[in-house]
Amino acid sequence: MYDPTVARLTYRALLGRRRALILGALPLLLIVIAVVVRVLVGADDQTAADLLGGLALATMVPIIGVIAGTGAIGPEIDDGSVVYLLSKPLKRPKIIYTKLIVAIGVTMAFSAVPTFVAGLILNGNGQQVAVSYTVAALVASIAYAALFLLLGTVSRHAVVFGLVYALVWEALFGSLVPGARTLSVQQWALAVGHKVTGGELITSDVSLTTATVLLIAVTVLATWYAGQKLRTLTPTGEE
């Protein structure tokens, strides 16, 4: 179910110079902030948790997810080059599955790894804060990549919709409307993170069971549906 050639093409498109710059900027910012906070405030578990929760998990992970998830297929559909994949005796779900693996890998590399590094800088993984948020970021990477890969397959405005979801729904709406939090990748990931720390530094509005079921359901359904959409996709012409 994994095609190394599709993966190679996807990696090279995703990590092209301009996109790699955007992908690299946010993690770099997080680490710089972590260093500044550590120098100014010193090692503090609550500050570390606030920063990793507010900046890393709530903002950086979804944005990286949008860039990697939509970027893994959206540009190819937009410019029509996807026709070179579609005109091959390849199962469409295989193309989607491969691109999902790549998108997950890139999202994890550019969000979970810097989260861990920033956590170490902030309080040296005191109370398991760094590890917990890293696990949460890893879990969120999978769901975001699947969700935004689907968005990139069905919409030409995937990046806009993705950012609206990530920033408005997850960050704003979720904090105002309690019910919205149940349907938030961030909260699901926090539930997993909470399990890892065991403490009260990381809390979630959803139970671990609900979170796990929803994470798996969203990932599987999004991936399946993207595969179905690709089966009937018409590459656009010049007209």
Partner 1 sequence: MTTLNIDHVSRWFGNVVAVNDITMTIGPGVTGLLGPNGAGKSTLINMMGGFLAPSTGTVTLDGAPVWRNEQIYKHIGIVPEREAMYDFLTGLEFVVANAELHGLGAKAAQRALATVEMEYAQDRKISTYSKGMRQRVKMASALVHDPSLLLLDEPFNGMDPRQRMQLMDLLRRMGAEGRTVLFSSHILEEVEQLAAHIEVVVAGRHAASGDFRRIRRLMTDRPHRYLVRSSDDRALAAALIADPSTSGIEVDLAEGALRIQAVDFGRFTALLPRVARDHGIRLLTVSPSDESLESVFSYLVAA
- The binding site for partner 1 (CB under 8 A) comprises 3-6, 8-9, 12-13, 16, 79-81, 83-92, 231-239
| Shortest CB 158 distance to partner 1, Å | 17
| Shortest CB 231 distance to partner 1, Å | 6
Q: What is the dihedral of CA 213, 106, 26, 77, to 10 degrees?
A: -90
| Shortest CB 62 distance to partner 1, Å | 27
Nearer Cβ to partner 1, position 13 or 113?
Answer: 13
Nearer Cβ to partner 1, position 5 or 207?
Answer: 5
In whole angstroms, how large is the CA radius of gyration of the chain? 18
CA dist 7 and 98 (Å) reads 6
| Shortest CB 64 distance to partner 1, Å | 21
| Shortest CB 16 distance to partner 1, Å | 6
Nearer Cβ to partner 1, position 200 or 238?
Answer: 238
Nearer Cβ to partner 1, position 13 or 109?
Answer: 13
Nearer Cβ to partner 1, position 46 or 81?
Answer: 81
